[in-house]
Every structure is written in C-alpha cells, then in structure tokens.
Structure 1
Amino acid sequence: MYRVFVNDKPIILTTQVSPERNFKNYLLSTVNIGKVVRELNSTSLKEIRLIGRTNEGLINKFLKTLPNVIAGGGKVINDKGEVLFIYRNDKWDLPKGKAEHKETIEETALREVEEETGVSGLSITKPIDITYHIFKRNGKHKIKITYWFEMKTSYKGSLSPQENEGITKVAWLNEEESIKALENSYANIKILV
C-alpha cells in the first residue's frame, strides 16, 4: 500500500477493495486523476482508494498518470538530539527541494538542506522513506517524489532561512517542541518525524 497526499488527504494505492465509508474506490487503470484531486479538495471525503490488480508496479503505474518532480530532503539531528525544522506557508516542514541536473538524490538532499537553512557540516546517516504528494504549478498537477534521509551535524552557527523560497523561520526543536510543531505540519512530515 502507498499513500500519495493531496494537501493532507491521502490517495491510497492498494489491491484491496473495501466497503466505502468516508472514502471512494476507483480502479487505477481507468481513473481520472484530475477528478480525484478535485474530489479530495472539494468534498468531506477522508481519502480515495485506487485499486490495482497486483502490488507489483502499483506505484509505478500511478506515477505515470502525472508528470513527476524528484526531490530530496533531510531530517537533520544535531548533537543535542534536536531536529531541524523550517517554517514556510504557515506550516512547519522539513527542508527539501528539487533535484538538479546530474545530481544524485543524496547530493540534492544535502544541498537543499544547506541552502534552505544555512546549516553546514551535514552527513547522511541513513535513508528514511520516500513520500509522494500532488501539487499544482501553472495550472497543471504534478507528483512530487521526495527521497528523505536522516542526517547529522555538529553545526553550531546561526540559522538562515532561504527567504526567496518562502521560508520565514528555521529552528532546532527538541522532542516536546517537535511534537507541538507537528500539530501544524503536513501529513507526510508527521509520518517521517
């Protein structure tokens, strides 16, 4: 099963058909993705489930329905065990951004975290997860595929939000502060943290 978020509502990719309660089932092979996005944005449905025949290739078939944008990001932990958060579009988020030409996804994640926060001396400790969400740019829907990595740093310098990317704050948050920040965050970030 995979989750692809439209804002904070998921499109669930599955092979299981369940009786509809606060969600709708559609066949992945014949679905109109634009209609699904509109339905999630304009109704009280909690989710939409797209049903495929087999688990193999389920996500790949879905990813062919819209243009893809590849991104990398990081859950950065400092020597005190605090997590690095950014504040953008009135929500707490983790730093991430689009891959550039001929860049590995690990290079993308490290570069984007440093650009968006000013934090240097980053090293990847392990891959965490891949998240998917649908967004709209210039009137067209796209799927952002974000590869997430856990990172560490001993950086003690000042934090500098990348304002031209709409980031207004960068902060190291302890466990209690992270829990509070996640109350005003995105569903896919809650899964990661």
Structure 2
Amino acid sequence: MYKVFVGDKPIILTTRVEQETNFKNYLLDTVNIGKVIKELNTTKLQEVRLIHKNDEKLLKKFLKKLPNVVAAGGKVFNAENDILFIYRNDKWDLPKGKIEGNETIEKTALREVMEETGVSGLEITKPLETTYHIFKRNGNHKLKITYWFEMKTTFTGNLYAQEDEGITKVEWLNEIKTQEALENSYANIKLLI
C-alpha cells in the first residue's frame, strides 16, 4: 500500500477492494487521474483508492500517470534532539529540493538542507520513508517523489532562510514546538515525524 497526497487527502494505492464509505474505489489501469484530483479538491470525499491486483506493480503503474519530479530532503536533529524546520508558503515543512544533474539522492538531500537552512556538518544516519504528493505547476499536475533521510549535526551557527525559495523562517524545534508546528504542516511531513 502507498499513499499519494493531493493536499491533505490521500490517494491509496492498494490491492484490496473495500466497501466505499467516505472514499471511492477506482481501477488503477483505467482511472482518469485528472478526474480523481479534481474530485479530491472539490468534494467532501476523504480519500480515493486505486486498485490493482498485483501489489508489486501498484507504484510503477501509478508513476506513469503523471510527470515525476524527484526530490530529497532531511529530518535533521541537533545535539539537543531538536528538529530543523523551515517555514514556506505559510506552512511548516522540512528542507528538501530537486535533484540537480547526476548527483546521488543522498548528495541532493545534504545539499538542499544546507542551501535552504545554512546548516553544515550534516551526516545521514538512515533513510526514511519516501513520500509522494501531487502538485500543480503552470496548469499541469505533477507527482513529487521525495526521498527522505534522517540526519544529525553538531552545527550551532546562525540559520539562514533561503528567501529566493520562499522560505521565511528556519528554526530548531523541540518536541513541544514540533507538535505545534505539525498542526500547520503537510500530511507527508506528519508521516515522517
């Protein structure tokens, strides 16, 4: 099973057909993805489930439905176990960005965290869940695939918001502040925290 978010509403990729209540079932092979996105954005529907009989082909088939944008980012901890957050588009988020050239996904994650926040001395400690969300750019829907990594740093310098990327704040948040930030964040970020 996979979750692909349209705003905060999920498209569930699954092999199980269940009785519809606050969601609709569609066959993955024949679904009109534009119609599904519109339905999630304009109705009270809570989720959509796209069904396919082969679990191993669920994601592969879905990825062909929309142009893909590949990104990487980090859930960064400092020595006090605070988490590094950015504030962009009136929401709390984790630093991330698109792959450039032929860099590895790990190199992208490290570079993007550093560029967006000013934090250096980053070390990847483990991979995290990959997230998927649909966004609209220049009138077209695209699927963003974000590879996430848990990172640590002993950095204690000044934080710098990358303003040309729309970031207005960068902050280390403790456990209580993290929970408050998640009330104004994205579904994908809530999954990672």
What is the CA–CA distance in structure 2 between the aligned matches of 1:153 and 1:129, rounded to whole Å? 20
Could you say what secondary structure the match of 2:155 adopts?
A: coil
- Rounded to whole Å, the distance in 1 between the matches of 2:141 and 2:181 is 28
Amino acid at match of 1:104: T
- Residue equivalent to 1:23: 23
Once the 2 structures are TM-superposed, how far is the Cα of residue 54 of structure 1 from its aligned partner? 1.3
The alignment partner of 1:30 has SS state of coil
Match of 1:129 in 2: 129
How do 1:140-159 residues align onto structure 2 when only pairs under 5 Å count? 140-159=140-159
SS in structure 1 at match of 2:150 = strand
- Mapped to 1, the partners of 2:51 and 2:17 lie a distance apart of 7
Q: Report the TM-score, using the length of structure 2 for normalisation.
A: 0.99
1:129-154: CA deviation from partner (whole Å, max 9, x where unpaired): 10000001111111000000000000
Secondary structure of 1:190's aligned partner: helix
Q: What is the CA distance between 1:57 and its match in structure 2?
A: 1.4
TM value normalised by structure 1: 0.99
Structure 2 counterpart SS, 1:107? helix
SS in structure 1 opposite 2:131? Answer: strand
Amino acid of the structure 2 residue aligned with 1:50: L
Matched, 1:7 2:7: yes
Tell me how far apart the structure 1 counterparts of residues 7 and 113 of structure 2 sit (CA, whole Å): 22
Look up the equivalent residue of 1:35 and give its one-letter code.
K
Task: Tell me the secondary structure at the aligned position of residue 29 of structure 2.
Answer: helix
Name the counterpart of 1:91. 91
Distance 2:57 2:149 in 1: 24
Does 1:79 pair with 2:79? yes
Unmatched runs of 5 consecutive residues or more in structure 2 = none
Distance in 2 (CA, whole Å) between partners of 1:21 and 1:154 is: 48
3-state SS of paired residue (2:190): helix
Deviation (angstroms), 1:7: 0.6
Which deviations, in whole Å up to 9, do the C-alpha atoms of 1:62-119 show, x marking residues without a partner?
0010110000000000000000000001110000000011100000000000000010
Tell me which amino acid in the other structure corresponds to 1:37.
I
Equivalent-residue separation in structure 2 for 1:25 and 1:131 (angstroms): 21
What is the rounded CA distance, in whole Å, between the counterparts of 2:58 and 2:128 in structure 1? 21
**Residues 155-193 of structure 1: CA distance to partner in whole angstroms, max 9, x if unpaired?**
000001000111000000000110110011000100101
- Shift of residue 39, structure 1, vs aligned partner: 0.3
Aligned identity (percent) is 72
Instruction: Tell whether 2:166 aligns with 1:172.
Output: no
* 1:65 counterpart letter in structure 2: K
Q: Work out the number of aligned pairs and report it.
A: 193
Distance 2:60 2:117 in 1: 32
The corresponding residue for 1:69 is: 69
Partner of 1:45: 45
Runs of 4+ in 1 over 2 A off after TM superposition: none
Distance in 1 (alpha carbons) for counterparts of 2:81 and 2:189 = 18
